[in-house]
Amino acid sequence: MKNKLFLMGILVMVLAFSVGFIGCSSSPTVYDKSVPLDQSSTIRINNAGQINNFNGERVFWNSTDFGQKMVTIPAGKHTFGGWFVVYLPGGSQLNISFSNAEYDFLPGHTYFIFGCNLRGAAVNVIDETALNKELVPDTMNPNASPIEGRWVNINNDNDQIIFAGNEYISSDIILSNRYFTRGIFFINGSDVYIVNAAVYHTNKKIYIPSSDGNFTRYTYDGTLLTRTHLMRRNDEYKRIE
């Protein structure tokens, strides 16, 4: 019961942040006004950070309010650098700097850029526009990760995780309401890190991006996936398809 209340508290905080973000956000800064909007992308920068270099040019893209800085940029491949603050369990924080991060931005899409305390990864980019697409695992794909598929908690059929490509969706029932999170994942040896990028908003029927990008760690022994991080430690999952 305590675990369910804890997770419900996280959901309430994230949704409260989302409402605050929607209410506080302003029009995006336009980087290059000569580029038509249908050939542009929008980036949203976590409020605990800043982008200060874009394609070698000095910029100053951060937020001074509750929301996050939004910038419209030309679609295509770009490099960028800056810093983020990552909040760690226990209330401590870590300042992470990065340079020459590279990403290929699609026209018409909005992206969330945030810091993440993962081995070899200081910055992550989430395609918000693609968040609401259906996530279908392809276990027959020879290039799929070893955890591709649908997994279920051995002791709770409602607690499931889908892994497809480098994305995941987890779902559970908390206080009679189904709760979804979505994001990306990384594998490092036997460790699996899932990065919380968005929470499903049941009223709006869409995924609303989270404020930070906190991660949860699991281990994979070739058969079972075991949660080894924070609450519900040692929960085990088996693949069902």
Q: Is residue 196 in a domain? A: yes
Q: Is residue 218 in a domain? A: yes
Handedness of CA 10, 11, 16, 20 (dihedral sign): positive
Same domain, 233 and 143: yes
Q: Is residue 153 in a domain? A: yes
In sequence order, the 6+-apart residues with CB closer than 8 A to the CB of 90 are none
Q: Which of 80, 109, 129 is the endpoint of a domain?
A: 129
Same domain, 109 and 178: no
Q: Is residue 18 in a domain? A: no
Nearest Cα to Cα of residue 123 among 82, 75, 91, 62: 82
Q: Is residue 178 in a domain? A: yes
Per-residue pLDDT of the chain (241 residues; tens, 9 = 90+): 434 443 444 443 343 334 333 334 457 899 999 999 999 999 988 767 889 999 999 999 986 544 578 899 999 999 999 988 776 656 677 788 888 889 999 999 988 887 766 545 567 787 888 777 788 899 889 999 999 999 999 998 888 999 998 889 888 877 677 778 888 888 989 999 888 777 776 666 666 666 555 678 899 999 999 998 766 678 999 999 8
Model pLDDT, residue 47: 65
**Contact of 86 with 195, CB cutoff 8 Å:** no
Q: Is residue 191 in a domain? A: yes
Domain containing 143 equals 2-11+132-239
**Contact of 141 with 115, CB cutoff 8 Å:** no
Same domain, 49 and 116: yes
Same domain, 161 and 218: yes
Q: 38 by DSSP, 3-state: which? A: helix
In which region does residue 130 sit, left (phi positive, over 0), alpha (psi from -120 to 50) or beta (all else)? alpha
Q: Is residue 16 in a domain? A: no
Residue 109 vs residues 52, 156, 198: alpha-carbon distances, Å: 22, 36, 16
Same domain, 220 and 172: yes
Model pLDDT, residue 210: 64
Model pLDDT, residue 153: 93
**Contact of 178 with 171, CB cutoff 8 Å:** yes
Q: Is residue 22 in a domain? A: no
Same domain, 148 and 193: yes
Model pLDDT, residue 217: 87
Domain count, the chain: 2
Q: Which of 83, 109, 129 is the endpoint of a domain?
A: 129
Same domain, 151 and 218: yes
> What tokens appear for 85 in the block?
């603050």
Pairing status of strand 29-30 against strand 224-227: unpaired
> What tokens appear for 178 in the block?
């189904």
Residue type, 36: P
Same domain, 138 and 125: no
Residue 88 vs residues 14, 46, 91, 116, 207: alpha-carbon distances, Å: 16, 16, 6, 10, 24
Could you tell me the CATH number of the domain that includes residue 158? 2.40.128
**Contact of 197 with 182, CB cutoff 8 Å:** yes
How many of the other CB atoms lie within 10 Å of CB of 205? 8
